[in-house]
Amino acid sequence: MINDSKRMQRVVVKSKSEILLEETPRPVPARNEILVATLVSGVCGSDIHAWQGHHPFVPLPYNPGHEVVGIIKEIGADVTDLIVGQRVTVEPTLPCWNCKRCKQGEENLCENLQFFGCVYDQGGMAQYFTIPANRVHLIPSGFSDEEAALIEPLATPVHAVRLAALGSGDLTGKSVAILGAGTIGLLTLAAAKHFNAKKIVMTDLLPSKRERALRLGANAVLDATRSDLVEAVLQSLGESADVVFDCVSVQSSINQAITMALKGGTVVVVGVPAAPVTVPLPLMQDLQIRLQGSATYLPIDFAEATAMIQAGEIQVNEIVTAIFPMESVELAFQKASSGEQVKVLVRFATA
């Protein structure tokens, strides 16, 4: 539904050379929906992939913004558990609730899944948006907007760690390697520490990101361009990796991850691959290596991520490194893709 008497601005990514602020009617919530005024929205790595034309599932043009924090402005007639004025973050998976996976409590794997802020008619990089009321989480009152903006991205590695530990989330006694020290890699570091990993070694191309990973508690961080990277990681761990989290997901990183896991290890694909890769199937079979995909998150992961932030386990100033007004959204995308920043946020002006 659209109320034509009220207008707003939203971001539309048309192409790599065209990110626009577009004026459009403000949406009106349906009976089961809420209207949210956006406070901040993060620029995700998947947003950068889509903008550059490399995302396998998000074609251009699209309406970005799935790492979003806002304030409820209106509620639909059937919404009884939320009130105007509450601050919320969005769980952007939009399941059908009727398919096999949804009925098994795996709505992140919904057979008819839509995704807010990606392949959907609305995104959080807008002054206002509507969304089903059951797809938001209340934000604790003491959280800053910056802390709240990290709940969704942190839920991704929390989910990946739970999958690596076969649902338990327990990495006690496990040696862990993390490939990539961008936002998701650094939050995977936090999640692995939270779930009691014994030792964590990370890799990255950029010295600044390697230094940040050390500050945030990695036991060792290695240059990803080293010709002997696999051997160096294993030497730093003192043994083979029980779990390797691939937050880069290109051919070279998958090759490295599988070799690091050696016999009986697990490789979790966390980063979104821009293109297909091949895997050494004979090696995987012979060494009994588990290759595990990790798709988004579930409510339990949002709850765990919120608890971690509330407990002070995330150094927000090390993760959120730049904030731009909505008028500078194109610059925000450019900075997010440059490697100079970790998490870039866009702040919106709301009425």
Domains 2-150+314-347 and 157-293 share a fold: no
| pTM over the 0.75 mark | yes
Question: pLDDT tens, 73-130?
Answer: 999 999 999 999 999 999 999 999 999 999 999 999 999 999 999 989 999 999 999 9
3-state secondary structure of 5: strand
- Name the H helices within 43-85: 45-51
Distance of CA 338 to the CA centre of its chain: 18
Question: pLDDT tens, 292-332?
Answer: 999 999 999 999 999 999 999 999 999 999 999 999 999 99
- Name the H helices within the chain: 45-51, 100-103, 145-149, 151-164, 183-194, 207-215, 229-237, 251-261, 281-286, 299-310, 316-319, 329-338
pLDDT at 216 over 60: yes
pLDDT of residue 2: 43
Q: CB of 157 within 8 A of CB of 269?
A: no
> What residue spans define the domains of the chain?
2-150+314-347, 157-293
Residue the block writes with tokens 């004026």: 23
Q: CB of 26 within 8 A of CB of 7?
A: yes
pLDDT of residue 262: 83
pLDDT of residue 348: 94
CATH fold of the domain at 2-150+314-347: Quinone Oxidoreductase; Chain A, domain 1 (3.90.180)
pLDDT of residue 56: 86
pLDDT of residue 17: 81
The pair of three-digit structure tokens given for residue 125, joined into one six-digit string:
């990089």
Mean pLDDT, all residues of the chain = 94
DSSP strand pairing (93-94 vs 266-269): unpaired
Which residue in 151, 97, 84, 115 sits closest to 299, CA to CA?
Answer: 151
pLDDT at 3 over 50: no
The CA–CA distances, whole Å, from 75 to 81, 114, 138 equal 10, 22, 14
Distance CA 164, CA 52 (A): 30
pLDDT of residue 169: 83
Q: CB of 301 within 8 A of CB of 162?
A: yes
Question: pLDDT tens, 121-180?
Answer: 999 999 999 999 999 999 999 999 999 999 999 999 999 999 999 878 899 999 999 999
Q: Which CATH number fits domain 157-293: 3.10.310.30, 3.40.190.10, 3.40.50.720, 2.40.30.20?
A: 3.40.50.720
